[in-house]
Structure 1
Amino acid sequence: MRTTLQEIQDGESFDIVVVGAGGAGMSAALFGALQGAKVLLLEKTEYVGGTTAFSAGTTWIPNSHHAAEIGVHDDSLAKVGGYLDLAVGERSSAELRRVFLENGPKAVKAIETGTSVRYRARPLHPDYISDLEGSTLRGRALEPLPFDGRLLGERFRLVRPPIPEFTVLGGMMIDRDDVNHLLKLTRSFASFRHAVKLLSRHALDRLRHPRGTRLVMGNALIASLLHSLDARDVPVLTECRLDRLQRGAAGIEALDVSQKGVKRRIVVKGGVILASGGFNRHPERRRALLPGSDPQWCPGAPGHTGQAHDVAEAVGAHYGKPGLSHAFWAPVSIRKRGDGSVAAFPHFILDRGKPGMITVNREGRRFLNESTSYHLFGLGMQEAGVAPAYLVTDAEGLRKYGLGMVRPGGKGLKPFLADGYLVAGSTLAELAGRLGIDAAGLQDSVRRINEYARSGVDLDYRRGTTDYQRVNGDAAQQPNPNLGPIGTAPFYAVRLYPGDIGAATGFATDTDARVLDGDAAPIDGLYAVGNDMHSIMGGTYPGPGITLGPGLTFAYLAAQHAVARARAPQSRDAKSAVA
């Protein structure tokens, strides 16, 4: 298996070259290899996985064969299409959405056939705008099955490690099922047995590996993709960058790449598939498209610098029209690690929407529904001009649900208090003083939320009024699973900032994922998938996995089109002209 550019001949020809080894790029490479194409996969960083490796790996594919496995038989193209029409509207192409919905189930079936990639549907995982007609509680959100990293051998080191704050005991990955078992291990024999199995496996792993090899969520997806690519001898070159694309009469004919001082020109017969992760860390684009957003607030992987976008624009690639937002968002809390790096911890569902939690501004006032989706929460922070916001709870809330990087249980608080990540006060007034916010406002906000907790009705922001919100609350809290009292001293808070978790704006494409130029004409042989492709969701966030779902589907379509192009006579003529 070739792993360095030195092993690639100058002028060597490939059917497909994929730029970027995140979830979408690796899927595109695998789809090409499954069709017998000669594929080369390039990754600029030292790891494969991109932001997918940091994520839950959830993939939104309505009407897949996995939906029936959990008893969902009433979904349909018309139902989900109507839902997207309401959620997205004219912010994106209805035709692109239709192609996604029709081909998503085919992509899932194709990638699971003869590869190591496996999905399952969550029994309960609602669409995010669950009050819209056509939404569902289950069946559309797929998650990768756990994967044994030991199957990769030495290649395990290539998989981008998860965010450290999402692991326990020095590198043990856990998913939402594991969390539930660990929280109940002293109250349930089944949970105790599950926890013992996890801990025993991790103890053995640490004798041989720098971290746990039981991989879940996005790490499991990336590892299974890498295992499948290795089985087909697809060269995966890390620390290798795209320098130039050559466009001729027949479209993209070649590309210049470099790795540690080695340079090669690669001839491409079918096409180049861009999957470099989006523009988010490109300095100029970030300033233009995400003004006021500090790069340290971004919890994504470091590779999405937009450098490949500059190369693509040089041959005519063009961004799509802006939708609701240029990026997808989540509230994050910030803490400096011991090695000097900065951790941006996304607050998805584990704390802010739970009972006994409120989020306030500098006046101590609530300004949004804390239980809404993380994307709408991030947009709400920006619309209100609030950064930071303050996520506040009491001793009971901290014990039950944790607070950001502080885990449930209420123990081990000293280092978080010492560095200021966690702020505490024996009274609400003392907490407000230490945060530098208005004490009277905070006290009044807590008084109001305590009244709402008793009645079950949030008169200010209607918290707990949708299925999505209630599912992410605490069913034990009645009458509203999202509303609970705040009153047990001491009181705690962390600061929240709007963090961009992925690009919504990217290159405009047609239904085969071919990149369009400024005249809306396709650039033959150039494709964009994942966050390099302009989002079909128009900057909205209708459900869990709405980046990975289209990423998988359009990777499937791009690979099909590129393989067909590679096998067409005109592609062979183009190769001869370049050679």
Structure 2
Amino acid sequence: MNTATHLSRTGPTDACAQTCDVIVLGSGAAGFAAAVSAACLGLKVLLVEKAATFGGTSAISGGAVWIHDSDQARAAGIQVPAERTRTYLKTVIGRGYRPELVDAFIARGREALAFLESHSELKYSLRPLSPDYYPDLPGGTETGRALEVAEYDGRRLGARFKDLRRPPDGMLLFGGMMVNRVDIQHFLGIKRSLKSFWHCLKLLARYGVDRLSHPRGTRLTVGNALIARLASTAFARGVELWLNARTESLIVEEGRVKGMLIDYDGQRRRVLARGGVVLASGGFAAGPQAAAYRPEADAEHWSMSPETNVGDGLSLAAAVNAATGEGMAANFFWAPVSVLCKPDGSLERFPHLVTDRAKPGVIAVNRAGRRFVNESDSYHSFVEAMFAEGGANAPCWLICDAEAMNRYGMGLARPRPVDNAVLVEAGYLHRAESILELARRIGVDAAGLQQTLERYNADAREHVDREFGKGGNAYNRYMGDPLHTPNPCIAPLNKAPYYAIKIGTGDLGSARGLLTDARANVLDRAGQPVAGLYAAGNEMNSIMDGTYPGPGITLGPGLTFGYLAACEIAERLRNGKSNATQPGDEHVLRTAHLHH
């Protein structure tokens, strides 16, 4: 019997149990948002993480959040009407649109972010330009919804810095240096801009100092900065974090989820939670059942989820008859992924999100040597195209010429002056002096590839892509090279040598999860709330129904519904058990709604 799917029932008292106000399962952004919000509302919180490090997928994410009408947008003079955001989401999501959840996100996302920024070290700024992924659809915008997390000094975590999930090596420079979207553009422009040169010089100087006393750089950006900022506040607020902890079952008492059985530090522990349990353990993308929810394709699939994200929350909730999403647009948030086999036999996965596909001189082809997609569209859309026609475009190949490689790099391959010979030797990067030779090396149809390149180059010389429209909208151009004009996404491939990298289908996490109401309360199969059980993040069925409207549409709802779960628990305890909060915390609870 799978112990994660049955219940433990206790009587009204249990002298051997440890007691808190709320248990949060999972230490990603949603879990930390719930834990920090609850702690700031005066609750005693236990945060339980199965892995040896905290942060989950969020720690290696881009860290952006997609929020309607944020304080940052208002400060910039941008106020998009709620109906416009609603129209955009209705258009993108389609038949899976759930108005009660989208309305809650639109109405309370600003409040959630403002609360976390007011009561924790979390800090975001508005991206001056960051188009939605479908900017030309009704309600789409080029700025105002995407926010960038501020960098953070990892030294402020103290001894806990070592417990923060380290990004994969391929996402780091020089063996341990983190960079964000702005930094990448500066490195790409280091030879063409004095401003970029000085920016990079300062980063390198800081990194050099860090490595004198730390195993990696302590200047944290993107998802690492998001998690570190929330974690610092959580620890300061007394949130207890258990790492390497395995959840065994829910504890149910009088028809209500009251706690969990947890294996931790060599002991089986019974932990009671007066307010309930928040499931935020990251979904099931790394679990064996994930394959059953993916389209069929003749290629291996690679998930960026931690290996511990195997669906523990869904298994626990199944024991209380919880409902899960069905018939979604997609069960996962897709991303194209390349894989390097290292000398020790380990695999390094690289998600092709922002650094290469949209750049001038880079195209994607299938086994027939044909292009099949606008390479500068979103990563989610790119993989949807790979799955199309029965998976005929999976795997595919990213191809570039020497000019693009020297200027931008591709995948794990770095731009000049880095020598990428080790990647060629490992079989990750393929190099050839002609297109026909490259086709032979990678096993694609040579005639098809030659014809594709002739057609593409003819268009590229006119700065257009008549076949797929690369660079054809604001989002495409934003992802290209701003210093390359007139089309930042288009350039011919005509300078040898030529390079190729094999790309497989991949994902950033699961979208299918537990159905909830607008307060993050898990629903049973009859549509009724499961008392004392909440879900947020990828454990919660995607309010986007598995579509991907813009940057940060997983983290934005994750922070929002983690916060809403904490508010619901705090309200219940405040009204039913006044001793659950400390004197003066009622003021904090009231101010949680100031921005509503």
Q: Which residue of 209, 214, 225 corresponds with 1:209?
A: 214
The separation in 2 between residues aligned to 1:290 and 1:570, in whole angstroms, is 48
Aligned counterpart, 2:12: none
Other structure's SS at 2:212 match: helix
Q: What is the rounded CA distance, in whole Å, between the counterparts of 1:454 and 1:293 in structure 2? A: 35
Aligned to 1:302: 307
Counterparts of 2:282 and 2:253, CA distance in 1:
26
Q: 2:325 aligns with which of 320, 323, 330?
A: 320
Match of 1:456 in 2: 463
Who is 2:42 aligned against? 36
Q: Which residue of 1 aligns with 2:242?
A: 237
Q: Indicate whether 1:84 and 2:119 are aligned.
A: no
Q: How many angstroms apart in 1 are the aligned matches of 2:40 and 2:579?
A: 21
What is the distance in 1 between the residues matched to 2:74 and 2:213? 40
Judged with a 3 Å threshold, the aligned counterparts in structure 2 of structure 1 residues 294 and 459 are, in CA distance, closer, same or farther, namely closer
Aligned partner of 2:11 in structure 1 is none
Distance 1:352 1:161 in 2: 25
**1:16 correspondence with 2:22:** yes
Greater shift after overlay, 287-296 or 163-172? 287-296
CA distance in 2, matches of 1:205, 1:32: 34
Within 1, Cα distance between the matches of 2:557 and 2:298?
26
Which of 224, 230, 233 matches 2:229?
224
The 8 Å contact of residues 164 and 228 in structure 2, kept in 1 or not, is answered as: yes
Q: Which amino acid aligns with 2:104?
A: V
Q: Are the equivalent residues in 1 in contact too, given 2:249–2:262 (CA < 8 A)?
A: yes
Whether the 8 Å CA contact 1:270–1:571 is kept in 2: the answer is no
Residue 130 (structure 2) pairs with residue 149 (structure 1): no
CA distance in 2, matches of 1:189, 1:285: 48
Query: What percent of counterpart residues are identical?
Result: 43
Secondary structure of 2:211's counterpart equals helix
Q: Which amino acid is the alignment partner of residue 511 of structure 1?
A: A
Q: Name the amino acid aligned to 2:449.
A: L
Q: How does 1:4-403 map to 2 (within 5 A)?
A: 10-69=16-75, 71-289=76-294, 297-384=302-389, 385=391, 386-403=393-410
CA distance in 2, matches of 1:442, 1:291: 25
For residue 534 of structure 2, the aligned residue among 524, 527, 530 is 527
Asked whether 1:511 is paired with 2:511, we answer no
Aligned partner of 1:498 in structure 2 is: 505
State the secondary structure of the residue aligned to 1:265.
strand
Deviates more, 1:448-457 or 1:485-494: 448-457
Encode CA deviations 1:318-372: one digit per residue, 9 max, x unaligned.
2122321100111111102344321111111211112211111111011111111
Distance 1:294 1:502, change over 3 A: farther
Aligned-partner residue type, residue 379 of structure 2: Y
Tell me, yes or no, if the aligned pair for 2:37 and 2:563 is still in contact at 8 Å.
yes
The answer to whether the 8 A contact 1:357-1:391 is kept is yes
> In 2, distance between residues paired with 1:10 and 1:404?
53
- TM superposition score normalised by structure 2: 0.91
Shift of 1:155: 1.0
Aligned to 2:443: 436
How many residue pairs align between the two structures? 565
Moved more, 394-403 or 177-186: 177-186
C-alpha contact 1:57 1:545 (8 A) present in aligned 2: yes
Q: Is the 8 A contact 2:28 2:281 kept in 1?
A: yes
Q: Which amino acid aligns with 1:147?
A: Y
Distance 1:72 1:359 in 2: 39
**CA positional deviation for 1:571:** 11
SS of residue matched to 2:17: coil
Which residue type is aligned with residue 198 of structure 1?
A: L
Q: CA deviation at 1:505?
A: 0.6
Q: Which residue type is aligned with residue 422 of structure 1?
A: L
Uncovered stretches (5+) of structure 2, i.e. residues with no partner: 1-14, 581-596
Partner deviation per Cα, 1:442-467 (whole Å, 9 max, x = no partner): 00000011111123332222222211
Q: Residues 92 and 321 from structure 1, CA distance in 2 versus in 1: closer, same or farther, beyond 3 angstroms? A: farther
Match of 2:558 in 1: 551
Q: CA RMSD in A?
A: 2.0
Partner SS, residue 105 of structure 2:
helix
| Structure 1 unaligned blocks of 5 or more | 1-8, 574-579
Q: Structure 1-normalised TM-score?
A: 0.94
SS of alignment partner, residue 468 of structure 1: helix
- The residue type paired with residue 11 of structure 1 is A
C-alpha contact (below 8 Å) 1:322/1:505 kept by paired residues? no
Residues 258/292 of structure 1: CA separation in 2 closer, same or farther (3 Å cut):
farther
3-state secondary structure, aligned to 2:461: helix
SS where residue 244 of structure 1 aligns? strand
**Residues 295 and 560 (structure 1 numbering): CA distance in 2 closer, same or farther, change over 3 Å?**
farther
Matched, 1:487 2:494: yes
Structure 2 contact 313–539 (Cα < 8 Å) conserved = no
1:210-256 deviation line (CA, Å, top 9, x unaligned): 11111011000111111101111110111112111122334102211
Checking the alignment, whether the CA contact within 8 Å between 2:146 and 2:552 is kept in structure 1 is yes
> Which of 424, 427, 437 is equivalent to 2:434?
427
2:299 touches 2:394 (CA, 8 Å); kept in 1? Answer: no
Q: How far did 1:90 drift?
A: 2.3
CA spacing shift, 1:291–1:273, aligned 2, 3 Å: farther
Q: Distance in 2 between matches of 1:99 and 1:193?
A: 44
AA partner of residue 13 (structure 1) = T
2 CA distance for matches of 1:196 and 1:457? 36
Q: Which moved more, 1:448-457 or 1:53-62?
A: 448-457
Q: 1:410 to 1:352 in 2, by over 3 A?
A: farther
Report SS of the residue matched to 2:336. Answer: strand
472, 475, 479: which one aligns with 2:479: 472
| Stretch deviating more after TM superposition (48-57 or 261-270) | 261-270
Is this contact kept in 1: 2:414–2:420, CA < 8 A?
Answer: no
Residues 259-309 of structure 1: CA distance to partner in whole angstroms, max 9, x if unpaired? 142111111111100000001112124334565597761122222111232
**Separation in 2, partners of 1:242, 1:315:** 15
